[in-house]
Amino acid sequence: MKTLITLLVISFTLTLTAQTLTANQLLEKTIAYHDPQGNWETFAGDFTVLLETPGGKERKTTITLNLPEEYFNASTLQDGKSSFREIRNTNCRFSNEDTTTTETTISDEACERTVMFKNYYTYLYGLPMKLKDPGTLIDPIVQKKTFKGKEYVVLKVTYEEAVGSDIWQFYFDPATYAMEVYQFFKGPDETTGEYILLTDEVEIQGIKMPKDRAWYYNKDNGYLGTDKLLQE
């Protein structure tokens, strides 16, 4: 009986939260949870990510960011071979596994992959704060959804054409506003794209970042791999 009452209270609270919170209010609450002191905008530090994939070789990448100085570096070690990708303002440098280093600018086609790495890491580890970036279009309606047996309050996000074409959904715990799942689709077909489960947290410079991010296909729940934020 107690279990039933507890479930009813949770369901009622979730419904009330979804009905009373605006999308902007939900975003502010989740940012207050993950970055209570507003440190992301001035983040200057590093963290190491270990990628594990089924049947693949582990890849260890140390990310160094200095957002105020527009600096990014990703130094990778895989199968005993190292490489790096670096952006400092408009200057771009990167190396291959044979240690050949290329120097160019971010507008050069040769730098596209390095820019992609910078955008990838700063976006995913800067969430949910990055949802305030220009070009981000947040649906004003807060949704209530059940995912993997748990109920969440959800933000739907699209982007201006110049920023991106994917449709994203971000799932937040209705009690703490912690971000626990995100998901993207390649257009309106929800069998495309992937979902990412976030488990545990690591606090880096006062910011709560997901410790483990496990990636799956939307179409068949096929497992892709896990990014693990290492505490070293």
Q: Can you tell me whether residue 26 is helix, strand or coil? A: helix
Give the span between the Cα atoms of 150 and 126, in whole angstroms: 24
Quote the pLDDT of residue 181: 98
Give the span between the Cα atoms of 216 and 232, in whole angstroms: 27
DSSP code for 24: H
Q: What percent of the chain shows pLDDT beyond 70?
A: 91
Rounded mean pLDDT, 142-152: 96
DSSP code for 40: G
Q: Angle at Cα 52 formed by Cα 180 and Cα 57, nearest 5°?
A: 165
User: SS in 3 state form for 73-137?
Assistant: EEEEEECCEEEEEEEECCEEEEECCCCCEEEEECCCHHHHHHHHHHHHHHHHHCCCHHHHCCCEE
38-69 residues labelled b (16+ CB within 10 A) or e (exposed):
eebeebeeebebebeeeeeeebebbbebeeee
Of the candidate ranges 1-15, 135-149, 172-186, 209-223, the one whose mean pLDDT is the lowest: 1-15
Q: Are 225 and 57 in contact (CB under 8 A)?
A: no
Q: Which residue has the tokens 């068949």?
A: 220
More confident residue, 6 or 75: 75
Within 13 Å and on the Cβ side, how many CA atoms surround 9? Answer: 7
208 token code pair: 């709560």
User: At residue 97, does pLDDT exceed 90?
Assistant: no
Torsion of CA 143, 204, 54, 178, to 10 degrees: -20
Q: What is the mean pLDDT of the chain?
A: 91
DSSP code for 20: H
Burial class (CB within 10 angstroms; exposed 0-12, middle 13-18, buried 19+) of 94: buried
Quote the pLDDT of residue 232: 62
